[in-house]
Chain A
Amino acid sequence: MVDIIFYLLLLFLIITAFFMVFTKDLSNSVITLPLFGAILVIIFVILQAPGVALAGAIMTAGLTTAFFVITINKTEYGRNE
C-alpha cells in the first residue's frame, strides 16, 4: 500500500516540476513551488528522514515562496497601469 502511494507521489513530483518550468505565467510557477515542497516533505517522511523533512517544510514551502512573491511584487509584473 505504501509503495503505491510512494510511486504516485513521485509521479506528482514530476508533474509539478514540469508545470513549473513550462507554464507561461510567472505567478502560477511561484504558487506551484510550495506544492512541490509539500510533496517532497511527504516523500522524505516515507524514507525516514525527519530532520531533512523539517528543514524542507520550513524553507521550501514557507520562506522561499515569500521571498519570490515579494520580488515579483517589486518588479511590477502583470500590472496593467
Chain B
Amino acid sequence: MSRLNERFKKLYKIGLVITFAVFLLFLFYDIHNLDSDSKRYLSEHYISEGLQETGATNLVASVLYDYRAFDTLGEATMILTAATILAFLVPITKATMFGTTFKSIVNQTVKLIIPYLAVLGAYLLLFGHISPGGGFVGGVVLSIIPILLTITYSVEFSEYIFKPDQKKLVEDIGAIGFVLLGLLGVLTGSNFFASGQAYFRTGNAGEVFSAGLIPYINLMIGLKVGAGLAIIFNSLIKEK
C-alpha cells in the first residue's frame, strides 16, 4: 500500500510538470502567432528612430533610461526598500562563521582578483549606453567585492574596510541623485525624466559623453544597486 502511494506521488509530480509544460507550449505558440501588422508600431518606432531621438547606441538603454525611466525608478525603489528593511533587522546575537578555514591560496587569489573586478564594474557602468551592460549589471559586479571580502576573511574585516554608515550614505546618494536628474527635465520645460525630448544630447553618438542624461542615470543606479546588495548580504550573513 505504501509503495503504491509513493508511486502515485511520483507520477503526480511528473504529471504536474508535463501539464505545465504543455500549457506553456500552447501559450507561447499563441503569442508567437499574433497579428504582427497593426500591433508592432511602437517597437518599430523604437528601432528605427531611437538612435536619432536619444543618441544612445544601445537601444535597450535608450528604452530603459529615456522612454521608460519612470518604471526604472520603481524598480530601484524596490531594492532600496528591501535593503532598508534588512538593515533595520540587524541581529543582536554574534554570528557563527563557517566551519571551514581557508588555506593561503584562497586568500592570495582573492587579493589578486579584486582590482580586476573593480575595473570591470566601472567599465560596465560608464559604457552602459554604448555597449551591453548598464547600471544594474555594473552595480552587481561592484557589490561582489565586499561579498568576497566577507566570505574569505570575516564580517569584521569587511566592515572595517567598507563601513556600514558609508554604504548607507552611498545608497542614499544614488537614490536622491536619480530623482534630481529626473527633475532636471522638468526645469527645462519638458516631462519628468526627459533627456531626449528636452534636447540634452550633446556630442556624437558612440562617445562616452553623449546621449544626454543616460550615463549619469547609469552611474546613480549602479551606486545604489551595489551598496544595497552589499548591505543585504552582510545583514543576512550576520544572522545566527
Contact = CB atoms under 8 A, between A and B. Distances in A.
A29 to B, nearest CB: 15
Contacts of B207: none
A51 B140 contact: no
B28 interface: no
A59 B239 contact: no
Contact of A67 (B134, B136, B236): B236
Contacts, number: 37
Contact size range, A? 10 to 19
B144 interface: yes
B137 A66 contact: no
B144 A62 contact: yes
Contacts of A74: 239-240
Interface string A2-19: 000000000000000010
Contact size range, B? 20 to 34
A73 interface: yes
Contact of B134 (A18, A51, A53, A62): A51
A55 B137 contact: yes
Interface of A: 18, 21-22, 50-51, 53-55, 58-59, 62-63, 66-67, 70-71, 73-74
Given A18-B17, A53-B132, A70-B237, 9 more contacts: A22-B13, A51-B133, A51-B134, A54-B124, A54-B137, A63-B140, A63-B144, A63-B229, A74-B239
